[in-house]
Amino acid sequence: MKILLVEDNEMNRDMLSRRLQRKGYDVVIAVDGSQGLDVARREAPDLILMDMSLPVIDGWEATRQLKAAAETRGIPIIALTAHAMAGDREKALAAGCDDYDTKPIELPRLLGKIELLLPPAGQFQPADSAR
Amino acid sequence: MNAREERRLVTALFCDLVGFTPLTERLDAEQIRSIQTLYFERMSKEIARFGGNVEKYMGDAVLALFGIPTTVGNDAEHAVLCALSMQEAMIPLATEVAGRHGVQLAIRVGVNTGEAVSGLVEAGGRRDYSVTGDVINTAARLQTAAEPGGIMVGAESMRLARKSVRFGERRDLALKGKAHTVVAYQVLGARTGGADQEKEDRNETPLVARDYELGILLHAWERAKDGEGHLVAVMGDAGIGKSRLLTEATERFSGGNSGRHLWGRCVSHGQGISLWLIADLIRSLTGTLIRDSQATAREELRRTVHALLDTAADDVRDTVTDVLGEVLGLPLENPSSFSDDPQVRRQQLIRSLRLILIGLSAQGPAVVVLEDLHWVDAASSEILAEVLADVPGLRLLILAAHRPGWTAPWAEWSWIERLSLRPLAQSEATTLAQTILGGSTLSSEFEQYVTERSGGNPYFVEELLHALREADGIAIQGNQVQLVRSAAEALPSTLTEILLARLDRLEDNVRDLVQAASVIGRGFSVPLLIEVSGWDERSVQEALAGLAGLDIVSRQPGSRSDYAFKHVTMRDVAYNTLLQARRHDLHARIARALAAANSADESVEIIAYHFAHSGEHAEAAIWLERAADHSSDVYANETAIGHYEEARRRLELVGEHDAAVRIGEKLGGIFRLVAWYDEALEEFETAAALYRRNGDLEGEAGLVAQIGQVHFLRGAPEEAIDSIRDVVGRLEGDVDDVVSSPGLAALYTALVDPLYSLNRFEDALTAAWRALELARLLDDSSLLVEATVHYGLALQGIGRLDEARLVLDEAISLAEAAGDQASLAEALMLSGDLCVAEGRPRQGAERYRRALGISEDRGDLSGTAALLSRLGYTSFILGDWNAAREQHEQTVELVRSISFSYFSASALVTLGEHYLREGEADKASRYLEEPFTLAERSGRLSQIPYLHVPLADWDLTQDRPEAALNRLGPLMAKAVFETPLDHRAMQIAAEAQLLMGNDVAAAEIIERGMEHAEGQGNALARLGWLQVAAVLAAHGNDEEKAFALLATALDLCRGMPHIYEEGRILYRRGLLSQSPTAREDLAMACAIFERLGSRPHVERVQRELAKVAVAQ
């Protein structure tokens, strides 16, 4: 199961990727919005964790583009934001995000959201073992 | 074998014969032997006469010691006088040898005083003293430097003898076997005048605080003049001023002229010489000296007797002359009138002296001074008791001076008067010292040194000053005399000699007890002394009562110690006599007794002190560490540092290197607190290396967390992050969601501050949260408190003020519950920041003040500086600019004393900005440039854009929008709206854009800013945005909207209150051309700025007011 983490904050990126890997996920990484688009197209992840305040192209715009393109439209996206601005959640959903979470990441909560959005585990078992 | 050893002040005299070797070639053994015997006999006789002991004969040399086994208090003086006497005694012998054998025989003498170890050795029924110490070798070497017939003495001996001996210039001798040159003086001769000479010397010392005693003496003199003779006994310790008082009194009696008085002075070496005092009185009567020839002495005696007994028959006068002459050792003129019966001769002497006194009285009132009677010889004492019984009927005043402990033969007489001289009070001793030093005022440290060490003894005051002067221990600063501490440690040997003499008069076992007590300290309790001495209680109590009677100790009712040495110097002298080994042993015993008897908390420092002075390093280290922990708990940081360092040294001595490193860890913590960052880093890094070597990753992590904190505090956040991240990586591998690690929690906590200071708020949030997660898993209260505080900080950084407030409130109660003062202060400070941002500056100030109290108590310098700076900000907001200025100035002063504080640069800028607002441009410029170099030098480049914010603000108020925009370039590119400073920067940028006509760009910034400020609940930021929005509206000619926005802002800031912003808002409203309240607004703004003391703002407002007046 492959997750793309688009995150510019180094500490957050390191920690989240490490913890997701320990949970058995394959994690690929991008450090800004434009790189996020490239990696999403190339790696076809099963899910994207998208920070909203990104350099170059921000998370809102990257999400819009991913949801607009046929090849990436089906990938579920969870928006991550550190700012608890009123309306951020609605704004994220409007941009096409499938779910939304606030930093700091509480891992069990995030894992719950991830599980909900991913297809049933068994289906992807062969791909996993081929890795 | 039993040995009783001591360290003590000893004077050694070394005498050697020159010219003897050629003689041995010429004479046979028998002749040589007889000359040698004669020489040794004469020398030994002189040595014995002056109270010395012959220690050894070596070939033709003699070594004699003075002050051993007991001292009389002026042994060095005796030794030098003895040397002179020996030279004199050699003259007849040398003359004889020269005449008979044609060889010039002479002696050279060396005298030296210093500390030596002396031991009484009892072996095979014999008691012997052995003395070891460099003092003896040096005496021998000094002897070789003397001329034949000459005497060379060391510096200490010179000091002690200079009252009665004349010396040549100081000489620095390079002596064989000595690494350094030795200071030496050649003896020129004895001072001639005896008592009179001494009178001159002593007059140099001012007489202080003896008016009462002088009054009594003057009164007694008046009565004596009327024929009512009197005896006043003056009693007091050595140096207390007996002689000085008597000199002063006799001068007053005679109105400054040399009146009619006799001086008889006893000397310690005269105790064994029959009728010494009577002889001295006769010499005084006749005005002759010991060294005068017999013919002169005889002639003067006859003249005096004839003059005094002018009405007596010739044969009476002749007999009296003969009787008195015999006392002086003069040959008899009429041997026939002399009886062989000693009883008869004694009666003759008594009768003669009576006649003399009667004769003296008949010719006018006279004074007889008897000094140092405690050294009187037995025969003189008996005679005096008889003769002085006549005094009440004569015009005579007898003044008899002695030390306590001597019983006078007239003790039972009812008509005499007794005066006891007490030590000077503290203020009197100070006056005396001042007078001696020429009237300058003394620093309190100096005053305390002199009064405490002298114990109110005037001679001690004088000697202390003398010794200080010689050691360059006196410095004059301004008009005040200051003590140079380094020079003030050694005790002048003059004092040591006197005090040692008092100790020497004690029984051996009582002396042991005094020594044991001296190790306990100046004050000591009876139970402890019993425990340490091994004596039973009754013996101890009895001995102490006796010592109290001798004024050596005194009872201390109502204090922790039962007794104390009356004189701190006495304690020091007793302590100094102890050999190192015995000192160590006693200290260890005291420490153990204290540790067994007391709860350790109370006495830990005293126990540590005693162990530290024992040879038991391991125990010393344990107690020193406890004492240090104790000091550190009460934030006595300097003391703690001293104890830890000593504990570590002891551990190193016993090879406990790991334990020593563990102490270093604690030391590092204190160094960090007191902002010695380099030292802290060194300690922490050493400790971290040890953990690494031992493969203790957890221990290493804890230290690296501290290292990170120090890097952050010294202004190097990147280094902090780098050093921490490496260990985080290694630890994270071992940790999962159920297994935690305290080290890892500490590391994440330590990451928050540096990340925050680099504006990496999201990362700071991540780190703080992770720390919190780990701490919760561990259920460790101290880690939890720290993590919570930092989580609050991170939330604040990201602009989530509501959440931050809740978290910080929780942190405050957690810290209070855990008693964690450091975290409490931190949480209060952050919580105060929130209050300020939310528009509640008063509450903010309250929290800052509470936190400041804690930080000051802890001695936390960087924390104190941070809080002072914040208090300065709230003072500014609340309109108390005087307080604000003072607080900012204090902050700057403090950060300058810290090796490098993470916010030094911003503290300087803030003060500079304050001066700008007050119109002090010159002062301001001093603080506005330096921070940039400071930040650059420290590599804190990310801070630089923020340093420009206050300056950009100022550019704006001075109508320089372009300059402001230039300054804000980097921050505008980032366009973040998180911290209050971010908001402020963007507000300035927006207004500058407006002033330059870029309304669209400005509108965009304003919209985003307002949105963030409202979302964050940042009232302070909102206040700024409302104003910029109003300026935008006014630009679009919507003055109504502008007016409304400003009215909202005005309400908001009056609610805080924020006085300065109120003035700014009123000013802005006054600029609206359509405003009905323009004039009133400007007038109010002017009043506010005047009250605040902001000249530049007042001038601006006044210009606008003038325009309004013209328009109307």
- What is the predicted pLDDT for the residue at B200? 44
Which residue bears the tokens 């809080």?
B867
Cβ contact (<8 Å) for B763 and A86?
no
**Closest chain A residue to B770, measured at CA:** A104
Q: Taking the CB of residue B1061, how many other CB atoms lie within 10 A of it?
A: 22
Q: Which residue from A minimizes the CA distance to B773? A: A106
Per the CB < 8 Å rule, is B762 touching A86?
Answer: no
Nearest CA in chain A to B755: A11
Give the separation between CA B740 and CA B760, rounded to whole angstroms. Answer: 25
Element (H, E) at B108: strand B106-123
Question: Is it true that the peptide bond before B742 is cis, omega within 30 degrees of 0?
Answer: no
Contacting residues for B831 by C-beta, under 8 A, at least 6 apart: B792, B805, B808, B809, B812, B847
Query: Does the beta carbon of B507 lie under 8 angstroms from any beta carbon of chain A?
Result: no
Concatenated DSSP letters for B1022-1083? HHHHHHHHHHHHHHTT-HHHHHHHHHHHHHHHHHTT-HHHHHHHHHHHHT-TT-TTHHHHHH
How many Å apart are CA B454 and CA B894, to the nearest integer?
40
Instruction: Find the CB nearest A9 among B763, B768, B1015.
Output: B763
Q: Which residue has the tokens 């003092």?
A: B135
**pLDDT of B296:** 84
Sites in chain B below the pLDDT cut of 50? 1-3, 194-203
How far, rounded to the nearest angstrom, does the alpha carbon of residue B194 sit from its chain's CA centroid?
Answer: 41
For residue A50, the chain B residues in CB contact (below 8 A) are: none
Quote the ipTM score: 0.88
Sign of torsion over alpha carbons B777, B783, B788, B791: negative
Q: How confident is the model at residue A126 (pLDDT cuts 50, 70, 90)?
A: very low
Nearest CB partner across the interface for B769, out of A83, A86, A104? A104
In sequence order, what DSSP letters do the residues of B502-543 get, joined into one string? HHHTS-HHHHHHHHHHHHH-SEE-HHHHHHHH---HHHHHHH
What is the least distance, in Å, from the CA of A71 to any CA of chain B?
31
Residues of A in contact with B732 (CB under 8 A): 18
Phi then psi for residue B1053, to 5 deg, are -80, -25
Kindly report the nearest CA distance between residue B831 and chain A, in angstroms.
19
Q: What φ, ψ does residue B122 adopt, rounded to 5°?
A: -110, 115
User: What's the CA gap between B884 and B910, in Å, rounded?
Assistant: 10
pLDDT at A129 over 70: no
Euclidean distance between CA atoms B716 and B676, whole angstroms: 15
CA–CA separation, B842 and B565 (whole Å): 56
Q: Cα(B946)–Cα(B222) distance, rounded to whole angstroms?
A: 89
Q: How far is CA B674 from CA B546, B610, B633, B849, B856, in A?
A: 50, 28, 14, 20, 11
Give the Cα separation of A95 and B1005 in Å (integer): 23
Cβ contacts of B762 within 8 Å, gap of 6 or more: A9, A11, A12, A53, A82, A103, B798
SS3 category, B553? strand
Residues B1012, A10: C-beta atoms closer than 8 Å: no
Residues of chain A contacting B765 with CB distance shorter than 8 Å: 82, 103-104
Q: What whole-number distance in Å separates Cα of residue B73 and Cα of residue B79? A: 12
Distance between CA atoms of residues B951 and B785, nearest Å: 38
Beta strands in B299-390 (DSSP E): 366-371
Name which of B763, B803, B1012 is nearest A11 (Cβ-Cβ).
B763
Tokens read off for B588:
């260890």
CA-based nearest residue in chain A for residue B1016? A85
pLDDT for res B579 = 86
Q: What is the DSSP letter of B491?
A: P
pLDDT at B192: 60
Q: How far apart are CA B890 and CA B856, in angstroms?
A: 13
B863: left (phi over 0), alpha (psi -120 to 50) or beta: alpha
For position B887, what pLDDT does the model report? 94
Contact B1015 A22 (CB under 8 A): no
- What counts of helices (H) and strands (E) characterise chain A? 7, 5
Reported pTM:
0.67
CB contact, 8 Å: B732 with chain A?
A: yes
Could B763 and A12 be called an inter-chain contact, meaning their C-beta atoms sit closer than 8 Å?
yes
List the strands of the sheet with B563-565, edge to edge: B523-524, B563-565, B553-555
Q: Residue A43 half-sphere exposure, CB side, CA atoms within 13 Å?
A: 21
Residues B444-475: b if buried by 16+ CB within 10 A, e if exposed: eebbebbbebbbbbbbbbbbbbebbeeeebbe
Q: Do A12 and B766 touch (CB under 8 A)?
A: yes
Other beta carbons within 10 angstroms of residue A56's beta carbon come to 14
- The position carrying tokens 């590599």 is B939
Q: Indicate the average pLDDT of chain A.
A: 85
Nearest Cα residue to B484 out of B502, B496, B472: B472
Kindly list the residues from chain B whose CB atom is less than 8 angstroms away from the CB atom of residue A105: 766, 769
What is the model's pLDDT at position A39? 95
pLDDT at A43 (0 to 100) = 93
Continuous segment of H or E residues that includes residue B152: strand B151-154
Cα angle B861-B866-B868, degrees, rounded to a multiple of 5: 95
Query: What is the rounded CA–CA span in Å between residue B411 and residue B418?
Result: 10
Work out how many CB contacts closer than 8 A connect A with B. Answer: 49
- CB-nearest partner of B798 from A11, A18, A82: A82
Provide the greatest CA pair distance for chain B: 143
Is B763 in CB contact (< 8 Å) with chain A?
yes
Query: B794 to chain A, minimum CA–CA distance in Å?
Result: 10
Please name which of B279, B381, B379, B267 lies closest in space to residue B325, comparing C-alpha atoms: B279
Q: Which residues pair with B417 in a beta bridge?
A: B232
Provide, as residue numbers in chain B, all residues whose Cβ is less than 8 Å from the Cβ of A53: 762
